Amino acid sequence: MEKIKSSEITPEHLYHSRRRFLKGVGVLASSWLLAACGFGPQQAPAASGDGSTPTPLPIPSTFPTLSAHSDELGNPLTPYKAITHYNNFYEFSTRKEDVYRLVEHFRTSPWEVEVGGLVHKPRTFGLEDLLKFEQEERIYRLRCVEAWSMVIPWIGFPLSRLLKEVEPLAKARYVRFETLYDPQQMPGQKNGFYKWPYVEGLRIDEAMHPLTILATGLYGKRLPAQDGAPIRLVVPWKYGFKSIKSIVKIELVEKMPTSLWMAAAPSEYGFYANVNPKVPHPRWSQATERRIGESGRRRTLLFNGYADEVTSLYPNLDDRKWFY
């Protein structure tokens, strides 16, 4: 009997999860301070169990329940415990293992997000308004520029839906996002090295892309504070630092915004920050990554595995500016 190469077979569960995914998308100071979101590749705690830490906020009736146990490539979800106990959130601490404790008293309700700038209909959305957008589950890989990664079942809604509500003007070319500034609650903001508040930005077509979401939950629950409650951006084909947490302001602008990381280390971090295994960080390789909860390393994928969906956004992939 002839042997079939295993690469020619698409296991059924992969086929179905791929379909589910597609349905979902609808078609210096001292240099150690400069590692975007950390100190370079480093050890993470071994992830174990699901270790559910209940969040006190009620789960909105609009939240979908967990729909799958792997992403569209067949990678298993990272355990809840790891997603919520290994966090980059410099407003609280530069130590990933400490963040979950320091957010204990962080007030995420009531919460407002001001959306304005170059738009016809500027508007301030209360969290309750944002939760009225139809919430869906999106299982995405998160690839930190420090070369570790997770698979996270987010709940949220496309950013494009919010932007359509405010009707951007034709001259709006970029979207600028800002995290809450409140040093009383966020002790890390007393660290004068960084220019607070945390700022990030996207080109408007990146912001309108169907993969780009605002997340309000994960694992079928409200977003834990350490993951950016009550609302954070998720842009899965870019390094994790673009996915700004605890957003209070979204502005449509004409000029490319300067992010916190561009200001802190312009030779290391640019605006686009698309994942590319072939473009090393000035201080380490991006060829492989450590998936939290696994041993060994995985190969990093171009655009973090979302190349089919997003390559068309970036003409001339040889231009280094897309990847740093």
Q: Which residues bind Mo ion (CB under 5 A)?
A: 37, 88, 144, 240-241
Shortest Å, Cβ 303 to ligand MTE: 16
Neighbours of 63 (CB within 10 A): 17
d(CA 118, CA 168): 6
DSSP string, 76-143: BPPPHHHHHHS--BTTTBS-TTTHHHHTTT---SS-EEEEEESBSS-EEEEHHHHTTSPPEEEEEEEE
DSSP class of residue 52 equals -
Nearer to ligand MTE, 131 or 223 (CB): 223
User: In the complex with ligand MTE, which residue's Cβ is closer, 97 or 167?
Assistant: 97
Q: How far apart are CA 64 and CA 52, in angstroms?
A: 17
Interaction site with ligand MTE (CB under 6 A): 36-37, 87-91, 142, 144, 179, 198, 227-228, 240-241, 243-246
174 contacts which partner out of Mo ion, ligand MTE, none, CB within 5 to 8 A by kind? none
What separation in angstroms does the CA of 232 have from each of 31, 216, 224, 296?
Answer: 28, 7, 11, 30
Q: Encoding tokens for residue 102?
A: 């320091």
142 binds, among ligand MTE, Mo ion, none (CB under 5 to 8 A by kind): ligand MTE
Q: Between 77 and 142, name the residue whose CB sits nearer to Mo ion.
A: 142
CB of 116 to Mo ion, least distance (A): 28
Q: How far is the CB of 226 from ligand MTE (least distance, A)?
A: 6
Alpha helices (H) in the chain, listed in sequence order: 12-25, 80-85, 99-102, 127-130, 159-166, 204-208, 260-264, 307-310
Q: Which residues pair with 91 in a beta bridge?
A: none
Report the C-alpha gap between 255 and 177 in whole angstroms: 13
Identify which of residues 168 and 201 has a Cβ nearer to ligand MTE in the complex: 201
CB of 91 closer than 8 Å to CB of 188: yes
> Judged by CB, which is closer to ligand MTE: 26, or 187?
187
> Smallest distance from the beta carbon of 209 to ligand MTE, in angstroms?
18
In the complex with ligand MTE, which residue's Cβ is closer, 209 or 232? 232
**Which burial class, exposed, middle or buried, applies to 70 when counting CB atoms under 10 A from its CB (0-12, 13-18, 19+)?**
middle
CA-based nearest residue to 181, from 293, 125, 296, 260 = 260
> Considering CB distances under 5 to 8 angstroms, the limit depending on partner class, which of ligand MTE, Mo ion, none binds residue 198?
ligand MTE
Kindly tell me which of 118 and 143 has the beta carbon lying closer to ligand MTE.
143
Q: How far is the CB of 18 from Mo ion (least distance, A)?
A: 27
Question: Minimal distance in Å, beta carbon 312 to ligand MTE?
Answer: 25
